Chains A and B, each alone.
Chain A
Amino acid sequence: MKIAIRTFSYQDHLNEAEIQAIEKACADYEQRPAAAIEALQIVQKQRGWVDDPCLQAVAELLGMSDAELEGIATFYNHIYRRPVGRHVLHLCNSISCWLSDVDELADHLRGRLQVEFGQTSADGGITLLPNVCLGCCDKAPAMMLDGELIENLSKEKLDQILSKLHQGGENG
């Protein structure tokens, strides 16, 4: 049996800006692990998702075990532990949106992107995910696209948004 000796340093995996931002978050709390969720969000902001080396690096920086931090990372709906597309689309599936027939929009999206919820379109453009109530219930149906809330959805509005994303993807 081979025993791997861990020579791991968080500096190898996080950049200076990330480390500084995480340190700043730590200063808001009595204990460093309290900054965990903010730290994960900082890392994800730069990279789109949190890979294993980054998770280990954050754990080391905060003085937690990897397993402990993994337990937190996987607890939250908006920390991605798998790669996502260039854009992430969360469609609300809670009650007020359901009453506004969001299921029809969900079918429409699945068809257009040729994916199921939880998958990324073949060109790597868009990851489709569900979301619980987004607090837009009076303007249902609603979704969150790359962090921005978009309300009063219809098929036409979705099509417009998707075309724009597609053009953006090709040009950039």
Chain B
Amino acid sequence: MDKPLTATLNIEQPLDLDQYRNKGGYQGFARALDLTPEEVQQQVKEANLRGRGGAGFPTGMKWGFVPMGEDSPGRKYLVCNADEMEPGTFKDRWLMEGAPHLLVEGMMIAAYAISASVAYLFLRGEYRLCATRLEKAIREAEQAGLLGENIQGSGYSLNLHLHTSAGRYICGEETALLNALEGKRAHPRAKPPFPQVVGLFGQPTVVNNAETLCNIPGILRQGPAWYQDLGRGEDAGTKIYGISGRVKNPGLWELPMGAPAKEIFDLAGGMQHGLKLRGWLPGGASTDFLLPEHLDTPMEYDAIAEAGSRLGTGGIIALDDKHCPVGMVLNLIRFFAQESCGWCTPCRDGLPWASEILNRIESGRGSQEDLDELQRLCDFMWMGKTFCALAPGAVEPMSSAMKYFADDFQQHIDKGCCPYRH
């Protein structure tokens, strides 16, 4: 099986420019330069690549909203979203540490496809090794004339800058990210206008996830048909799936899109000795719980949605039978409450409130009314009532836990203590 995302990945010592080129690196970019930007967009559309940042938005379609042609704004931006702060998610870090040139090439092709003259790589500050390795890859590309003015005599010019952030989850939301890049407080922006039309510094801008961009070189080099065939089910290509929690061998694997969750659990060797699986989040902290009975579900956007959750980042978090589901939700909600940007009331007030109630229940001081209140809060912070998707994302694990682990919540109240505390 082809593994285009990890074929050139080396976590100990990533390939330098020459080594990467010897393995076919920058051929995708060379091929792109032979096409018009619109033709590159068309290739990515045909490949049916969907964004790996969590929402699964079709990448080609996203690019298609950018004004093109003679009359379009002279300055456009491509931004790589490498803020990766969703708990339970560590895939972009692996790609950037192990295959920095793959991402740089992906960014170059994407920038060319929308005729952007400047690209930013927005990296979370804690990923220092990524920063060092990406910085080196960018310098090598510059020195080889792959970045800068009139690249390879094509007439196309591109400058690529690394921006290291300083730790705040909301910066990963694409419009908040644009505010952060402008040196403003990173709260989200109203949409419309969409960033593709009015984005960074008011100019047309595309924001793509780092893993999404790593898919682009392969599509250009080997074609949309090849890419489509990589997927096992509805969705095209491969995906970096991960798993953490009390499994035997937590880690990351590149698998065809649509591989069943069970395959990932098997690769991880199943649960640790003496533990049973209670539930799992399919793609990071902001996705709904699923149960062991859902393990055969293909890890692709529509199938996971039908099962009642979201594929999200594809980073599975496994809950075992020795850890308290209420405690797990409390941990998650505390994260979201802390990271709320405070811009809109349901989220700013609702999350600390939910966190307080959960803390009460978890420590055995909760009441029946607390459960009702928690349920109301799920509704209060749901989609359409908040300014961005952070609060609804927080609701997903909470409301699904209250559904699937209702007995556990009830026991905390009836017994006046956490049944899991030893």
Contact = CB atoms under 8 A, between A and B. Distances in A.
Contacts of B163: 28, 37-38
A94 interface: yes
Interface of A: 28-38, 40-41, 62, 64, 71-72, 75-79, 93-96, 98-100, 131-140, 144, 147-149
Interface of B: 75, 84-90, 92-93, 124-129, 161, 163-169, 180-186, 201, 242-246, 250-252, 285, 315, 317-320, 323, 327-328, 331-332, 335, 338-339
Given A40-B166, A95-B317, A137 B90 contact: yes
Contact of B184 (A72, A78, A93, A137): A72
Contact of B244 (A71, A96, A144, A149): A96
B183 A95 contact: no
A98 B331 contact: yes
B221 to A, nearest CB: 29
A135 B84 contact: yes
Nearest to A72: B185
Contact of B181 (A34, A144, A148): A34
Given A76-B165, A135-B90, A139-B250, A148 B244 contact: no
A12 B7 CA distance: 52
B301 to A, nearest CB: 22
13 contacts: A33-B184, A37-B165, A38-B164, A41-B125, A78-B166, A96-B88, A99-B244, A99-B317, A99-B318, A132-B167, A132-B335, A133-B89, A149-B126
Nearest to A73: B166
A28 B77 CA distance: 13
Given A41-B125, A135-B126, A137-B315, A35 B331 contact: no
Contacts of A96: 87-88, 244-245, 250, 317
B128 A99 contact: no
Most B CB contacts (10 A, CB to CB) among A29, A38, A64 go to: A29
B320 A34 contact: no
Most B CB contacts (10 A, CB to CB) among A40, A131, A132 go to: A132
B328 A31 contact: no
A64 B331 contact: no
A99 B285 CA distance: 13
Contacts of A34: 181-183
Given A94-B285, A95-B87, A133-B86, A138 B243 contact: yes
A76 B169 CA distance: 9
Contacts of B323: 98-99
B55 to A, nearest CB: 19
Given A36-B183, A75-B186, A96-B250, 5 more contacts: A29-B181, A76-B166, A76-B167, A99-B328, A133-B335
Contacts of A131: 126, 167
